[in-house]
Amino acid sequence: MQASIAASRPRHVHRLAVSASFLLQGLCFSTWASRIPTVQQKLHLSETALGGVLLAVPVGLIASLPITGWLVAKYGSRNMTVIAVLLYSGVLPLLGLAQNTTQLMAALVVFGFGSNMANISVNTQGVGVEAIYGKSILATFHGVWSLAGFMGAAIGGQMIKWEVPIFQHFALMAGVIWLGVALMRPYLVPADAPSPGDQPLFVLPDKSLMLLGILAFCSLLAEGTMFDWSGVYFKKIVLADKAQVGLGFSAFMSMMATGRFIADWFTDKFGRARTLQISGLLTATGLSIAVAFPSLLVASLGFMLVGLGVSSVVPLVYSSAGRSRTMPAGVALAAVSTVGFAGFLLGPPLIGLVAGATSLKVSFTIIACMGLAVAALARPATTNAD
């Protein structure tokens, strides 16, 4: 996408529609994440078994790698956003119907496939809106995604309190998301028209973009861990009661949303490298606090710091990739976001495997190192991206 892109409707209309697509995508994942402890209990899964089951999600991601970028380039991000979000949310009822690990893993493979397709499609739409506005606004879209995560967690917590079965909960949310897709579709950015030429199925990022991808990978690995394991951590380590199991996740999501809505201002004031360094240190500090002092109040505070820490990393990385001088924006974004999103999906199963061999505390300590890696790589990554 280029800065000369013309909007087919008033630019604020495109911005609202793309915001809605981020909201629906985030609502889909947070709906699933909010019931992971329930699924674990329903299927009688240990931490190790749960980690193994969650590996099905990155399997779906890997399966999508050869074709997702190609589909977006060939058919346009507007069409693929619609298809991907419908597929992604359509798997939710199947997750609710799973009666054993085989059925659950099969559904999670498709869930992972749809999640990566939706991630690349909606972010390509976001880069298109940035081009229309001529300024950085991608962080606010990710802020909407975070708000959706908070909404999904709150709804999930209420469903648990009311003892609503998983299938009914997931089917209801899928219906809401499908309705949202129908309403937003006409107002998405049509600028990246389908390409008539031959397109490569997948393009690896070059050296400069690879650093951005690694930065996103580290941050999203921590973020994915918070999504899938925060509830389990509060249940098993913090020993929160049933109504408070989702408190840590809600604390994390609320601060991640807040951070993303102020990220553009903060970056303009302190610069990309400094913002990323502070973000990484906040992530590491928050996780360390939650591990060292696993009380309800202190662990919630630690999770809030993690949310603030991860809030700006992905928007800054994706925005930098969208302005790449070595690849077209859509191709660069697809390559970097795929590398980064792999961390989001690989983190949760790795946590389960490490927790099974050691403990959840050890797993979370290892994830804290991802924050330190972000801080260490911030300057070289932003230097190479310029």
Inform me whether the pLDDT recorded for 3 exceeds 60: no
| Per-residue pLDDT, 193 | 47
In a domain, 94, yes or no: yes
Say what the pLDDT of residue 328 is: 65
Q: Which residue has the tokens 């498709």?
A: 110
Which residues 6+ apart lie within 8 Å of 97 measured at CB?
103, 107, 167
6-20, 175-189, 220-234: least confidently modelled range: 6-20
Helix axes 313-322, 207-236, angle to 10 degrees: 160
Instruction: Return the amino acid letter for 244.
Output: Q
More confident residue, 120 or 89: 89
Instruction: Tell whether 197 is covered by a domain.
Output: no
- Could you tell me the pLDDT band of residue 51, with boundaries at 50, 70 and 90? confident
Residue found under tokens 């974004």: 333
DSSP secondary-structure letter at 98?
-
Q: How many helices (H) and strands (E) does the chain have?
A: 16, 0
**Quick one: pLDDT at residue 120?**
87
Residue pair 218/377 in contact (Cβ under 8 Å)? The answer is yes
Q: How much is the pLDDT for 338?
A: 78
- Neighbouring C-alpha atoms within 13 Å toward the C-beta of 369: 5
> 């996408």: which residue's tokens?
1
pLDDT score of 201 more than 60: no
Phi and psi torsions of 231, nearest 5°: -65, -40
**Comparing C-alpha atoms, which of 337, 302, 331, 125 is closest to residue 219?**
337
State pLDDT tens for residues 55-76: 899 899 888 877 887 888 788 8
Q: What is the CATH number of the domain that holds 21?
A: 1.20.1250.20
Average of pLDDT values for 27-53? 93
* Alpha carbons 327 and 325: distance in angstroms, whole number: 6
Among candidates 279, 157, 298, which has minimal Cα distance to 220?
279
pLDDT tens for each residue of 176-196 = 999 999 999 999 998 654 555
For position 301, what pLDDT does the model report?
Answer: 98
pTM greater than 0.85 (yes/no): no
- For the segment 152-174, the average pLDDT, to the nearest whole number, is 95
- Classify residue 295 by its DSSP letter: S
For residue 350, what pLDDT band results from cuts at 50, 70 and 90? confident
Structure confidence at residue 2 as a pLDDT band (50, 70, 90): very low
Residue 1 lies in a domain: no
CA atoms of 159 and 380, how far apart (whole Å):
45
Residues contacting 197, CB < 8 A, separation 6+: none
pLDDT at 1: 44
The yes-or-no verdict on residue 358 having pLDDT over 80 is yes
- Residue 8's CB is within 10 A of a number of other CB atoms, namely 14
What pLDDT shows up at residue 259? 95
Instruction: Look at residue 3 and tell me if it is in a domain.
Output: no
Counting the structural domains of the chain, the total is 1
Say what angle helices 77-90 and 166-184 make with each other, to 10 degrees: 160
For 77-86, 166-175, 216-225, 346-355, which range has the lowest pLDDT when averaged over its residues? 346-355
- DSSP-derived 3-state class of residue 67: helix
Higher pLDDT, 343 or 178: 178
| Mean model confidence pLDDT for the chain | 89
- 49: tokens are 């078994």
CB atoms within 10 A of CB 38: 19
Phi and psi at residue 238, to the nearest 5°: -75, -25
Highest mean pLDDT, choosing among 151-160, 315-324, 327-336: 151-160
DSSP 2-66: -TTPPPSS-HHHHHHHHHHHHHHHHHHHHHHHHTHHHHHHHTT--HHHHHHHHTHHHHHHHHHHH
Q: Which domain holds residue 39?
A: 11-187+204-385
**C-alpha closest to that of 181 among 90, 315, 69:** 90
Taking residues 122-149, report their average pLDDT.
88
Position 264 scores a pLDDT of 83
How much is the average pLDDT of 280-302? Answer: 97
Least reliable range by pLDDT among 42-46, 128-132, 166-170, 314-318: 128-132
For the ranges 197-211, 221-235, 296-310, 339-353, the maximum mean pLDDT occurs at 296-310
Pairwise CA distance, residues 288 & 302, whole Å: 8
Instruction: Give mean pLDDT, residues 97-120.
Output: 96
Q: Could you read off the pLDDT of 369-378 as tens digits, one per residue?
A: 999 999 999 9
Q: Is the dihedral of CA 133, 138, 143, 144 positive or negative?
A: positive
Give yes or no for a contact between 146 and 33, defined as CB atoms under 8 angstroms apart: no
Task: Tell whether 362 is covered by a domain.
Answer: yes
Token code pair at residue 172: 């209801």
Q: Is the pLDDT of residue 39 over 70?
A: yes
Distances in whole angstroms, Cα of residue 238 to Cα of each of 285, 294, 345: 18, 5, 24
- Residue reference for tokens 């190479």: 384
The answer as to whether 195 is a domain residue is: no
